[in-house]
Structure 1
Amino acid sequence: MTASEGKISAYFSHLVSELGYYRDVHCVAVAHMVPNTLTFAPALDRLMTLAGVLPKPRSVGRDEYTQLYAKYKIPELSRAWARDAVAVVKTLHDDLKLTGRKLVLVDIGGYFAESVDQIANLFDGELLGVMEGTENGVQKYEEIARKTPYKTPIITVARSPLKLPEDHLVASSVVFSIEAVLREQAEILQTRAATVIGYGRVGSSVAGILRGRGINTVVYDIDPIKLAEAAARGFQANTRLNEALSQSSLVVCATGRKALELKGFGMLQSGSVVASVTSADDEFDLPCLEAGYIPTPVGKDLVRYDENRAGGRHFFLVANGNAANFIHGAVIGPAIQLIEGEKLRAIKDLIERKVPAGGSHLAELDVKARKEVAEIWIEHFL
């Protein structure tokens, strides 16, 4: 164990000792196979019993998958499986042996948004609730909750102020990885103009970082409030996607809600480089490209897509559409442990049945609870 890992382990041990131990509660967690999961999974296992880790599909080839597989049960994860409550419950009962248990689902990306209430009904145990950790996941849950409020308690940390440092560092690492990929092609970042699609917490940081690097940066968002904020901060803000894309040869997508589908890909300038801050299945409709484009790897982390016609346009996709920063392990330092700590604190509220069900917005922790987490983090990392 490195000194950094030892510090993180001590932080989680201290935090869990304050939160309490709930060994009779089991947890199944969706997770990226990245270095941080190697420390967060044991923290979940301290607070509860970690019954299974569901690996994000496009990260299973990483070394972290092998390390986690040696310690935990790792069923296969897919959007189709997660939407199918019968299939999910079969995995919980047969593969993870959770019949009759108390269970918490830890989600990132809204995998169970369509099925959670049905899972709760079919599960031969008690589903205490879901903790969702990402903005695009929150959007998926809220879209359904606005129509039919959930009967299952759901809490999120995605909009917490404790996540702001992580969001900025994620943005920094995305830009770092894009630049590294371009340099492998003997190109520098500053030769391109950029468009950022999505001016949320990560997208706004990406835009600011690119502009700070001397890159002309345009912003597009469907939310007029966010677009007005971008304009007030001095960005050229476009209300039409085609106009935003017409001015750029580098496109960074930060919506989590299919920023580019077939029509959007058709608006790209030939030779554009496209990157995402999140998973490909959340940010792009890649299957739509199969009929009209020919993919060709041009580097370890870059794929060229050529239109399937004479004289057609082409564009490049970083990490084949997955989060660009995962190319380099998505290591962003101890700041991420702030929000991981809040996740544990939010799970405690689920376990103790303090999270109400219903309503069009997900539950969040109050300021007092967040301060408790921050104080422990400060003790270990400052």
Structure 2
Amino acid sequence: MESFERARLDAYFGKIGAQLAPATRPTCFMVTHLLSERPSFVQAVASVSRLRAVLPKPKSIDSTARREVERLIPCDTLSRELFGTPEAALDYFESRAAGESLVLLDVGGYFAPSLAALCERFSGSVLGVVEDTENGHRRYAGLADLACPVVSVARSPLKDPEDFLVGQSVVFSTEALLRGRGDIPSGRPALVVGFGKLGSSIARLLHAKGVHVTVFDIDPVRRAQALSQGFAVARDRETALAGAGLVLCATGALSLRGEDFPHLRNGAYVATVTSSEDELDGLPNVYSRADAGEHITRYQTTGHYFYLLNEGNAVNFLHGASVGPFIYLVQAEIVAGMHMLSRGDLAPGMHEVSATDRAAIAATWLNYFDR
């Protein structure tokens, strides 16, 4: 990022912070993709909270960005196990922020398994969670009894530009990896698993490249939407997998289980838009593995083989996953979510940022980036 671009970004977040700063500064833990542009956002969060630690998602860490952040804020190692049990989560929070009021910034529902115990047993208080992703939204919404408020930006209209551009980056990275093997998507029937905002973007972009696209989604409403947009719609996953030369997993939850892989057509490529732990549920042990190109693994057993891109992790992170300045809309909405939680007047349950705050964010963003 050029120095003038960084200065503009810092000025933007300064303005957002002035507009939406929490009334009182809560303590904060921050799960994030630590990409090249992210230090400005981290600093923005630190300016309106007592940011105790940044927890970078393991598959999306830019080393330069991490070094910059670590000069100001500790970066801890993130895993599902860290917050997977109440005991582990409580040990972590007590060691970092005993007795303090917490806002948790999440990307993928990492705090969800232990949230009830944290709210009940932590020596301080959990004001709530701000969640950024669809799979995280589902994890929190699926809890039997939410013990605190969760502000989700996953379904915000301010996230629509990001989702569309992430779809573009997924298609770009998938094609780049195939071309590295002397292959191309054209001529390979594609299956898009999941027709949400990301999946629909991927399907449209593949179609624009002349790829025949079939959609599979468990939601009948989304299947109807896909059909209305001219896509073939699979009635069952097994048949769809058998006919696809390229499979893009875009559910944000679980796309393929172990028993699905044998149904893949020989030589099919499989890519995902999020982490392997979210989209893929284990590969059968009968498959042997071998490198088949940069970031491509060949899985083979007797009479069957397929290729997995980037070990099943988000393929677009191989090329930076950049969506330009549109990501700053979502980041500003996360700050707005922190403001909501800091008031302490939200009931336990799922919440969204108000339309008024979203409009103010968009207007500020336009002043800085519509040039």
TM-score (norm 1): 0.92
Q: Quick one: which of 163, 166, 171 aligns to 1:175? A: 171
Report the Cα distance in structure 2 between the residues aligned to 1:330 and 1:256, rounded to whole angstroms. 16
Report the Cα distance in structure 2 between the residues aligned to 1:379 and 1:354, rounded to whole angstroms. 32
In structure 1, the gaps of 5 or more residues are none
1:302 and 2:308 correspond: no
Distance verdict in 2 for CA 1:190–1:2, change over 3 Å: farther
Distance verdict in 2 for CA 1:231–1:129, change over 3 Å: same
Q: Quick one: which of 355, 361, 365 aligns to 1:367? A: 355
Q: Percent identity?
A: 36
Report the Cα distance in structure 2 between the residues aligned to 1:279 and 1:9, rounded to whole angstroms. 30
Cα shift at 1:101: 1.3
AA partner of residue 118 (structure 2) = I
1:88 corresponding residue in structure 2: 89
Work out whether residues 220 and 238 of structure 1, in 8 Å CA contact, stay in contact via their aligned partners in 2: yes
Distance verdict in 2 for CA 1:160–1:298, change over 3 Å: same
Report the Cα distance in structure 2 between the residues aligned to 1:71 and 1:82, rounded to whole angstroms. 24
In structure 2, the gaps of 5 or more residues are none
Aligned Cα RMSD in Å?
1.6
Work out whether residues 35 and 61 of structure 2, in 8 Å CA contact, stay in contact via their aligned partners in 1: no
Report the Cα distance in structure 2 between the residues aligned to 1:66 and 1:210, rounded to whole angstroms. 37
2:119 corresponding residue in structure 1: 120
How many residues matched? Answer: 369
Distance verdict in 2 for CA 1:68–1:314, change over 3 Å: farther
More displaced, 167-176 or 105-114? 105-114
Three-state SS of the structure 1 residue aligned to 2:357 is helix
1:198 corresponding residue in structure 2: 194
Cα shift at 1:135: 0.4
1:319 corresponding residue in structure 2: 310
Work out whether residues 56 and 77 of structure 2, in 8 Å CA contact, stay in contact via their aligned partners in 1: yes
Q: Which structure has the highest strand share of the two?
A: 2
More displaced, 121-130 or 152-161? 121-130
1:273 corresponding residue in structure 2: 269
More displaced, 45-54 or 31-40? 31-40
Q: Quick one: which of 338, 350, 364 aligns to 2:341? A: 350
Query: Can you list the C-alpha shifts for 1:143-180, whole angstroms capped at 9, x where unaligned?
Result: 22xxx221211110000000000000000000011111
Displacement over 6 Å in runs of 4+: none
TM-score (norm 2): 0.95
1:151 corresponding residue in structure 2: 147
Work out whether residues 248 and 272 of structure 2, in 8 Å CA contact, stay in contact via their aligned partners in 1: yes
Report the Cα distance in structure 2 between the residues aligned to 1:349 and 1:57, rounded to whole angstroms. 29
AA partner of residue 244 (structure 1) = A
2:47 corresponding residue in structure 1: 46
Q: Quick one: which of 329, 333, 356 aligns to 2:320? A: 329
Cα shift at 1:188: 1.9
Distance verdict in 2 for CA 1:246–1:347, change over 3 Å: same
Cα shift at 1:61: 7.6
2:4 corresponding residue in structure 1: 3
Cα shift at 1:210: 0.3
Report the Cα distance in structure 1 between the residues aligned to 2:21 and 2:254, rounded to whole angstroms. 40
Work out whether residues 89 and 114 of structure 2, in 8 Å CA contact, stay in contact via their aligned partners in 1: no
Three-state SS of the structure 2 residue aligned to 1:58 is strand
